[in-house]
Structure 1
Amino acid sequence: MVVINNYEEFESHLGKDMGLSQWHKIEQSQINLFADATLDHQWIHTQPERAEVESPFKKTIAHGYLTLSLIPYLWKQIVNIQNLKMEINYGIEKLRFAQAVTVDSEVRLKVSLASIANLRGVTKANISLTLEIKDEKKPAFTGEVVFLYHFI
Protein backbone atom coordinates (compact mmCIF):
# COMPACT_ATOMS: atom_id res chain seq x y z
CA MET A 1 0.00 0.00 0.00
CA VAL A 2 1.21 3.49 -0.88
CA VAL A 3 1.17 5.93 2.06
CA ILE A 4 0.96 9.64 1.26
CA ASN A 5 1.39 12.28 3.95
CA ASN A 6 1.42 15.51 1.93
CA TYR A 7 1.32 17.12 -1.50
CA GLU A 8 5.02 16.55 -2.22
CA GLU A 9 4.78 12.82 -1.53
CA PHE A 10 1.67 12.61 -3.71
CA GLU A 11 3.38 14.52 -6.53
CA SER A 12 6.31 12.07 -6.51
CA HIS A 13 3.93 9.47 -8.00
CA LEU A 14 3.06 11.57 -11.06
CA GLY A 15 2.91 9.40 -14.18
CA LYS A 16 3.56 6.22 -12.21
CA ASP A 17 1.48 3.14 -11.53
CA MET A 18 0.32 3.24 -7.93
CA GLY A 19 -0.90 -0.33 -7.65
CA LEU A 20 -3.81 -2.74 -7.69
CA SER A 21 -6.65 -3.35 -5.27
CA GLN A 22 -7.74 -6.76 -4.06
CA TRP A 23 -10.27 -8.67 -6.13
CA HIS A 24 -13.90 -7.93 -5.21
CA LYS A 25 -16.67 -10.39 -6.11
CA ILE A 26 -19.91 -8.85 -7.42
CA GLU A 27 -22.72 -10.95 -5.98
CA GLN A 28 -26.43 -10.82 -6.76
CA SER A 29 -27.18 -9.54 -3.26
CA GLN A 30 -24.96 -6.48 -3.88
CA ILE A 31 -26.63 -5.87 -7.26
CA ASN A 32 -30.07 -6.10 -5.63
CA LEU A 33 -29.11 -3.68 -2.85
CA PHE A 34 -27.78 -1.23 -5.43
CA ALA A 35 -31.03 -1.56 -7.40
CA ASP A 36 -32.98 -0.76 -4.24
CA ALA A 37 -30.77 2.24 -3.42
CA THR A 38 -30.99 3.71 -6.93
CA LEU A 39 -34.53 2.58 -7.82
CA ASP A 40 -33.09 0.91 -10.95
CA HIS A 41 -34.68 -2.54 -11.00
CA GLN A 42 -34.20 -3.28 -14.70
CA TRP A 43 -34.54 -7.04 -15.21
CA ILE A 44 -31.06 -7.42 -16.69
CA HIS A 45 -29.73 -6.63 -13.21
CA THR A 46 -32.29 -8.15 -10.87
CA GLN A 47 -33.99 -11.13 -12.52
CA PRO A 48 -31.54 -14.05 -12.88
CA GLU A 49 -34.09 -16.45 -14.43
CA ARG A 50 -35.13 -13.96 -17.11
CA ALA A 51 -31.51 -12.93 -17.76
CA GLU A 52 -30.57 -16.58 -18.31
CA VAL A 53 -33.10 -16.78 -21.16
CA GLU A 54 -33.21 -13.25 -22.63
CA SER A 55 -29.88 -11.61 -21.89
CA PRO A 56 -26.94 -11.89 -24.29
CA PHE A 57 -24.80 -12.40 -21.15
CA LYS A 58 -26.95 -15.36 -19.96
CA LYS A 59 -26.82 -14.01 -16.40
CA THR A 60 -27.49 -10.77 -14.61
CA ILE A 61 -25.02 -7.91 -14.86
CA ALA A 62 -23.95 -5.28 -12.37
CA HIS A 63 -25.16 -1.73 -12.94
CA GLY A 64 -22.44 0.37 -14.55
CA TYR A 65 -22.88 2.88 -11.74
CA LEU A 66 -22.46 0.11 -9.17
CA THR A 67 -19.03 -0.62 -10.60
CA LEU A 68 -18.20 3.11 -10.46
CA SER A 69 -19.36 3.32 -6.87
CA LEU A 70 -16.67 0.80 -5.91
CA ILE A 71 -13.90 3.27 -6.82
CA PRO A 72 -13.48 4.85 -3.33
CA TYR A 73 -13.52 1.44 -1.61
CA LEU A 74 -10.96 -0.09 -3.99
CA TRP A 75 -8.83 3.11 -4.14
CA LYS A 76 -8.40 3.01 -0.36
CA GLN A 77 -6.96 -0.51 -0.67
CA ILE A 78 -4.18 0.92 -2.86
CA VAL A 79 -3.41 4.29 -1.30
CA ASN A 80 -3.58 5.49 2.30
CA ILE A 81 -3.65 9.29 2.35
CA GLN A 82 -2.79 10.70 5.77
CA ASN A 83 -3.03 14.16 7.37
CA LEU A 84 -6.32 15.13 5.77
CA LYS A 85 -8.91 17.61 6.92
CA MET A 86 -11.20 16.56 4.11
CA GLU A 87 -11.36 14.75 0.78
CA ILE A 88 -13.94 15.35 -1.93
CA ASN A 89 -15.01 13.36 -4.98
CA TYR A 90 -14.75 16.13 -7.57
CA GLY A 91 -15.41 14.51 -10.92
CA ILE A 92 -15.09 11.75 -13.46
CA GLU A 93 -13.45 12.35 -16.83
CA LYS A 94 -12.85 10.29 -19.96
CA LEU A 95 -15.02 7.45 -18.68
CA ARG A 96 -15.72 4.55 -21.01
CA PHE A 97 -17.61 1.40 -20.12
CA ALA A 98 -15.91 -1.37 -22.12
CA GLN A 99 -17.59 -4.54 -20.92
CA ALA A 100 -20.47 -5.62 -18.69
CA VAL A 101 -19.65 -7.19 -15.33
CA THR A 102 -21.68 -10.37 -14.92
CA VAL A 103 -22.86 -11.59 -11.54
CA ASP A 104 -20.21 -13.48 -9.54
CA SER A 105 -17.37 -11.88 -11.51
CA GLU A 106 -14.39 -10.50 -9.62
CA VAL A 107 -13.11 -6.99 -10.30
CA ARG A 108 -10.09 -5.00 -9.17
CA LEU A 109 -8.88 -1.45 -9.65
CA LYS A 110 -5.59 -0.51 -11.31
CA VAL A 111 -4.50 3.12 -10.84
CA SER A 112 -1.85 5.66 -11.73
CA LEU A 113 -1.51 9.37 -11.02
CA ALA A 114 -2.35 11.19 -14.28
CA SER A 115 -1.95 14.75 -12.97
CA ILE A 116 -1.73 16.71 -9.76
CA ALA A 117 -2.06 20.40 -8.96
CA ASN A 118 -1.84 22.59 -5.89
CA LEU A 119 -4.84 24.92 -6.01
CA ARG A 120 -4.10 27.43 -3.25
CA GLY A 121 -3.49 24.71 -0.70
CA VAL A 122 -5.99 22.17 -2.05
CA THR A 123 -4.56 19.18 -3.89
CA LYS A 124 -6.39 18.26 -7.08
CA ALA A 125 -5.44 14.74 -8.17
CA ASN A 126 -6.53 13.12 -11.42
CA ILE A 127 -6.32 9.36 -11.00
CA SER A 128 -6.22 7.24 -14.14
CA LEU A 129 -8.01 3.98 -13.51
CA THR A 130 -9.02 0.71 -15.02
CA LEU A 131 -11.52 -1.69 -13.48
CA GLU A 132 -10.24 -5.11 -14.50
CA ILE A 133 -12.46 -8.20 -14.64
CA LYS A 134 -10.77 -11.43 -13.60
CA ASP A 135 -10.10 -13.76 -16.57
CA GLU A 136 -11.32 -11.18 -19.11
CA LYS A 137 -9.20 -9.28 -21.64
CA LYS A 138 -11.39 -6.18 -21.71
CA PRO A 139 -11.88 -4.08 -18.58
CA ALA A 140 -15.25 -3.05 -17.17
CA PHE A 141 -14.27 0.60 -17.61
CA THR A 142 -11.41 3.03 -17.99
CA GLY A 143 -11.28 6.70 -17.11
CA GLU A 144 -10.06 9.30 -14.67
CA VAL A 145 -11.49 10.35 -11.35
CA VAL A 146 -10.71 13.70 -9.79
CA PHE A 147 -10.28 13.99 -6.03
CA LEU A 148 -9.69 17.12 -3.97
CA TYR A 149 -7.55 16.65 -0.85
CA HIS A 150 -7.29 19.22 1.93
CA PHE A 151 -4.10 18.33 3.80
CA ILE A 152 -3.62 19.55 7.37
Structure 2
Amino acid sequence: MDEEGAMDTRILSTVDAVLAAIGREIGVSEWLLIEQSRVDAFAAVVGDFQWIHCDPARAAKESAFGGTIAHGALTLSLVSTLREDLRGTRIELNAKMGVLYGYNKVRFVSPVPVGSRIRLRQTLADAKLVKPGVFEMQFKETVEVEGKERPALIVEAINRKFLD
Protein backbone atom coordinates (compact mmCIF):
# COMPACT_ATOMS: atom_id res chain seq x y z
CA MET A 1 0.00 0.00 0.00
CA ASP A 2 1.14 3.54 -0.64
CA GLU A 3 0.99 6.47 1.80
CA GLU A 4 -2.66 7.22 1.04
CA GLY A 5 -3.77 3.62 1.56
CA ALA A 6 -4.20 2.81 -2.12
CA MET A 7 -3.29 -0.69 -3.17
CA ASP A 8 -0.06 -1.07 -5.13
CA THR A 9 -0.61 -2.37 -8.64
CA ARG A 10 0.74 -5.81 -9.44
CA ILE A 11 1.40 -6.53 -13.13
CA LEU A 12 0.80 -9.97 -14.66
CA SER A 13 2.71 -9.94 -17.95
CA THR A 14 2.97 -13.66 -18.80
CA VAL A 15 0.45 -16.40 -19.46
CA ASP A 16 1.98 -18.43 -16.61
CA ALA A 17 1.53 -15.53 -14.18
CA VAL A 18 -2.11 -15.18 -15.20
CA LEU A 19 -2.71 -18.92 -14.82
CA ALA A 20 -1.21 -18.77 -11.33
CA ALA A 21 -3.72 -16.03 -10.41
CA ILE A 22 -6.85 -18.09 -11.16
CA GLY A 23 -9.24 -17.86 -8.24
CA ARG A 24 -7.78 -14.62 -6.89
CA GLU A 25 -9.32 -11.20 -6.69
CA ILE A 26 -7.80 -9.02 -9.38
CA GLY A 27 -8.89 -5.70 -7.98
CA VAL A 28 -11.49 -3.16 -6.98
CA SER A 29 -12.24 0.05 -8.84
CA GLU A 30 -12.77 3.53 -7.52
CA TRP A 31 -16.35 4.66 -6.92
CA LEU A 32 -18.31 6.12 -9.86
CA LEU A 33 -21.25 8.46 -9.27
CA ILE A 34 -24.39 7.64 -11.25
CA GLU A 35 -25.96 10.95 -12.25
CA GLN A 36 -29.33 11.57 -13.87
CA SER A 37 -27.58 13.14 -16.88
CA ARG A 38 -25.76 9.85 -17.57
CA VAL A 39 -29.01 7.87 -17.28
CA ASP A 40 -30.78 10.32 -19.62
CA ALA A 41 -27.93 10.16 -22.16
CA PHE A 42 -28.05 6.35 -22.09
CA ALA A 43 -31.83 6.45 -22.56
CA ALA A 44 -31.37 8.67 -25.61
CA VAL A 45 -28.86 6.26 -27.15
CA VAL A 46 -30.93 3.11 -26.62
CA GLY A 47 -34.42 4.62 -26.86
CA ASP A 48 -35.54 3.43 -23.41
CA PHE A 49 -37.24 6.40 -21.72
CA GLN A 50 -39.20 4.42 -19.13
CA TRP A 51 -40.24 6.75 -16.31
CA ILE A 52 -38.42 4.74 -13.62
CA HIS A 53 -35.22 5.87 -15.34
CA CYS A 54 -36.02 9.29 -16.77
CA ASP A 55 -38.80 10.99 -14.75
CA PRO A 56 -37.42 11.88 -11.30
CA ALA A 57 -40.67 13.52 -10.08
CA ARG A 58 -42.87 10.58 -11.04
CA ALA A 59 -40.34 8.01 -9.82
CA ALA A 60 -40.15 9.77 -6.44
CA LYS A 61 -43.95 9.50 -6.07
CA GLU A 62 -44.78 6.19 -7.74
CA SER A 63 -41.72 3.97 -7.83
CA ALA A 64 -40.95 1.36 -5.21
CA PHE A 65 -37.33 2.55 -5.55
CA GLY A 66 -38.02 6.06 -4.20
CA GLY A 67 -36.54 7.77 -7.24
CA THR A 68 -35.04 7.08 -10.61
CA ILE A 69 -32.72 4.14 -11.16
CA ALA A 70 -30.08 3.36 -13.77
CA HIS A 71 -30.97 0.99 -16.59
CA GLY A 72 -29.60 -2.49 -15.95
CA ALA A 73 -27.97 -2.35 -19.38
CA LEU A 74 -26.29 0.94 -18.41
CA THR A 75 -24.86 -0.68 -15.30
CA LEU A 76 -23.60 -3.61 -17.39
CA SER A 77 -22.05 -1.27 -19.96
CA LEU A 78 -20.24 0.66 -17.22
CA VAL A 79 -18.31 -2.49 -16.26
CA SER A 80 -15.87 -1.66 -19.08
CA THR A 81 -15.33 1.84 -17.68
CA LEU A 82 -14.91 0.53 -14.14
CA ARG A 83 -12.53 -2.18 -15.34
CA GLU A 84 -10.13 0.50 -16.58
CA ASP A 85 -9.91 1.89 -13.06
CA LEU A 86 -9.19 -1.36 -11.19
CA ARG A 87 -6.70 -1.11 -8.35
CA GLY A 88 -4.77 -4.24 -7.48
CA THR A 89 -3.61 -6.42 -10.35
CA ARG A 90 -3.31 -5.53 -14.02
CA ILE A 91 -3.08 -8.14 -16.73
CA GLU A 92 -0.74 -6.78 -19.40
CA LEU A 93 0.02 -9.60 -21.79
CA ASN A 94 1.94 -8.91 -24.98
CA ALA A 95 -1.09 -8.99 -27.27
CA LYS A 96 -2.19 -7.50 -30.59
CA MET A 97 -5.62 -6.84 -29.15
CA GLY A 98 -8.15 -7.90 -26.58
CA VAL A 99 -11.89 -8.35 -27.01
CA LEU A 100 -14.91 -8.96 -24.85
CA TYR A 101 -15.90 -12.41 -26.11
CA GLY A 102 -19.20 -12.56 -24.24
CA TYR A 103 -20.97 -13.36 -21.02
CA ASN A 104 -21.82 -16.71 -19.47
CA LYS A 105 -24.19 -15.21 -16.95
CA VAL A 106 -25.60 -11.78 -16.13
CA ARG A 107 -27.74 -11.12 -13.05
CA PHE A 108 -29.22 -7.74 -12.12
CA VAL A 109 -29.45 -8.32 -8.38
CA SER A 110 -30.61 -4.90 -7.14
CA PRO A 111 -31.26 -1.44 -8.59
CA VAL A 112 -28.74 1.38 -8.85
CA PRO A 113 -30.44 4.55 -7.57
CA VAL A 114 -29.52 7.76 -9.36
CA GLY A 115 -27.20 9.68 -7.07
CA SER A 116 -25.51 6.56 -5.72
CA ARG A 117 -21.97 5.43 -6.37
CA ILE A 118 -20.92 2.08 -7.81
CA ARG A 119 -17.65 0.21 -8.06
CA LEU A 120 -16.40 -3.02 -9.62
CA ARG A 121 -14.85 -5.99 -7.82
CA GLN A 122 -13.20 -8.48 -10.20
CA THR A 123 -11.93 -12.04 -9.67
CA LEU A 124 -10.13 -14.17 -12.24
CA ALA A 125 -12.32 -17.28 -12.38
CA ASP A 126 -10.52 -19.18 -15.15
CA ALA A 127 -7.94 -18.77 -17.91
CA LYS A 128 -6.75 -20.98 -20.74
CA LEU A 129 -5.18 -21.03 -24.16
CA VAL A 130 -8.14 -21.85 -26.45
CA LYS A 131 -6.02 -22.17 -29.58
CA PRO A 132 -2.52 -21.08 -30.55
CA GLY A 133 -2.21 -17.34 -29.93
CA VAL A 134 -5.64 -16.94 -28.32
CA PHE A 135 -5.74 -16.69 -24.54
CA GLU A 136 -9.15 -16.62 -22.84
CA MET A 137 -9.87 -15.30 -19.37
CA GLN A 138 -13.14 -15.62 -17.49
CA PHE A 139 -13.87 -13.03 -14.79
CA LYS A 140 -16.44 -12.92 -12.05
CA GLU A 141 -17.37 -9.26 -11.85
CA THR A 142 -19.54 -7.72 -9.18
CA VAL A 143 -20.85 -4.16 -9.29
CA GLU A 144 -21.36 -2.92 -5.75
CA VAL A 145 -23.52 0.03 -4.66
CA GLU A 146 -21.98 2.13 -1.92
CA GLY A 147 -23.73 1.54 1.40
CA LYS A 148 -25.81 -1.40 0.13
CA GLU A 149 -25.37 -4.98 1.24
CA ARG A 150 -26.55 -6.53 -2.04
CA PRO A 151 -24.65 -5.92 -5.27
CA ALA A 152 -26.31 -4.33 -8.28
CA LEU A 153 -24.88 -6.74 -10.82
CA ILE A 154 -23.02 -10.02 -10.97
CA VAL A 155 -21.60 -11.04 -14.34
CA GLU A 156 -19.33 -13.76 -15.69
CA ALA A 157 -17.40 -12.07 -18.50
CA ILE A 158 -15.13 -13.75 -21.03
CA ASN A 159 -12.24 -11.78 -22.51
CA ARG A 160 -9.82 -12.95 -25.16
CA LYS A 161 -6.31 -11.73 -25.84
CA PHE A 162 -4.76 -12.31 -29.25
CA LEU A 163 -1.12 -12.84 -28.36
CA ASP A 164 1.85 -11.60 -30.39
* TM-score, length basis structure 1: 0.94
Percent of residue pairs identical? 36
Question: Are 1:7 and 2:15 matched, yes or no?
Answer: yes
The correspondence of residues 47-66 of structure 1 with structure 2, limited to 5 A, is: 47-66=55-74
1:27 paired with 2:38, answer no
The verdict on how the C-alpha distance between 1:53 and 1:13 changes in structure 2, with shifts beyond 3 A counting, is: same
Give the partner amino acid of 2:156: E
Gaps of 5+ in 2: 1-8
Mapped to 2, the partners of 1:10 and 1:64 lie a distance apart of 30
- Tell me which moved more, 26-35 or 79-88: 79-88
Q: CA deviation at 1:151?
A: 2.3
How many residues get paired?
152
CA distance in structure 2 between the partners assigned to 1:2 and 1:45 by the alignment: 38
Q: Which amino acid aligns with 2:144?
A: E
Q: In structure 2, what residue type is equivalent to 1:62?
A: A
The residue type paired with residue 127 of structure 1 is F
Matched-pair contact (CA < 8 Å) for 1:6–1:151: no
2:145 corresponds to 1:133: yes
Q: CA RMSD in A?
A: 1.3
Separation in structure 1 between the aligned mates of residue 97 and residue 85 of structure 2, nearest angstrom:
18
SS in 2 for 1:52: helix
Q: What is the distance in 1 between the residues matched to 2:50 and 2:15?
A: 43
Which position in structure 2 is the counterpart of 1:85? 96
Equivalent residue number for residue 3 of structure 2: none
Question: Which of 30, 46, 61 is the matching residue for 1:38?
Answer: 46
> C-alpha displacement at 1:145, in angstroms?
0.4
Partner residue, 1:16: 24
Amino acid at match of 2:45: A
